[in-house]
Amino acid sequence: MQVLVNRLSGLPSESTEGVTVIKLPEPTLRLPREKPIPKAKPQTKWEAYAQLKGIQKKKKGRMLWDNESKQYKPRWGYGRKDETKSWLLEVPENADPNEDQFAKKIAEKKERVAKNELKRLRNIARVTKAKVPGVGLTPTDKPSKDHLGKTLAVTHKSTASLGKFMDTLPKEKLRLGKKRKFESNYTDDRERQKKILKGIADGTPVLDVNRAANIAKHREERERSMAKKSGDGEKKKAGAKGKKGGKKSFSGKPSGKPKKTFAGKTKKSFSGKKGGGGGGAKKGRK
């Protein structure tokens, strides 16, 4: 270190404002750089267009003349002329008188900022050769079946013929279109329009009375047939219950009231046996 200091002290020097400055000799050895030389900054789309057309870039002045305040104001930053903060704005002749001009100015400014940001991102993507997603369905990491179907439909309709002459894939579903009902001919359409106008002029009811009566009649007949079917079913069930019991046995006592004969005498009927005698009617006096 002392040898280096001794060599520096032997070099020519000069004093500037009380400070001694040593003049170093011209370098004889070129030292390598630590990092590579930076590459030239790629041109933007506008810079390439300006170079092609020979457009010279003019530096904008920072100060602008304001006719209202009669003084210079900065183009940007604090104290600039901001139309959105003005308390009065002139409404153009071709504009809607009920339109809010202040909100319109703010919306236009936001749109300009968004467009500039989009252009900046596109320039970066163009330089780095990255893929920029188009407007519409953006790609996802794991697209679903529904997403792929929508993307395919959008791709079909992106042609000049709106996908009319596009070939379908082997397992692709048929693309359904809108169905339109046309009149058979001009005469039918004219008669239909005349009928509508006649109904409006005459004040005839829109309801078709004959058709409504037929519908009501059909409904009544249907209800009657349903009620009849349900009644027949109940009768059949009752008959089945009576037959299910079979024959009944009696203890020999007379059943019911005594029957009168033509001779004026009564006789009782038995359905069972009584004692050792046979069944039947009792005989009168001999």
pLDDT at 269 over 60: no
Quickly list H helices, the chain.
Answer: 2-9, 45-53, 101-128, 145-156, 186-202, 209-244
Please state, in angstroms and rounded to a whole number, the distance separating the CA atoms of residues 167 and 46.
40
**Rounded to two decimals, what is the model's pTM?**
0.32
Predicted local confidence at residue 239, as pLDDT: 61
pLDDT at 156 over 80: no
* pLDDT tens-place string over residues 77-114: 888 877 667 778 888 888 888 888 888 988 999 999 99
Q: Binning pLDDT at 50, 70 and 90, where does residue 286 land?
A: very low
Which range among 5-19, 24-38, 122-136, 218-232 shows the weakest confidence by mean pLDDT?
122-136
Q: Are 265 and 255 in contact (CB under 8 A)?
A: no
Burial (CB count within 10 angstroms: exposed 0-12, middle 13-18, buried 19+), residue 60: exposed
* pLDDT tens-place string over residues 174-197: 766 667 766 567 677 788 888 888
Q: Which helix (H) or strand (E) holds 260?
A: strand 259-260
pLDDT at 201 over 50: yes
Predicted local confidence at residue 137, as pLDDT: 52
Q: Whats the size of the chain, residue-wise?
A: 286
* pLDDT tens-place string over residues 27-83: 888 888 889 888 888 888 889 999 999 998 888 888 888 887 888 989 888 888 776
Question: Hey, is 13 helix, strand or coil?
Answer: strand
Q: Are 68 and 54 in contact (CB under 8 A)?
A: no
Predicted local confidence at residue 217, as pLDDT: 92
In sequence order, what are the residues at sequence separation of 6 or more whose Cβ sits closer than 8 angstroms to the Cβ of residue 66? 72, 73, 81
- Which has more pLDDT, 135 or 189? 189
Q: Binning pLDDT at 50, 70 and 90, where does residue 127 land?
A: confident
Please state, in angstroms and rounded to a whole number, the distance separating the CA atoms of residues 270 and 251.
10
Name the average pLDDT for the chain.
76
Predicted local confidence at residue 205, as pLDDT: 64
Predicted local confidence at residue 117, as pLDDT: 92
Q: Binning pLDDT at 50, 70 and 90, where does residue 238 land?
A: low
Burial (CB count within 10 angstroms: exposed 0-12, middle 13-18, buried 19+), residue 47: middle
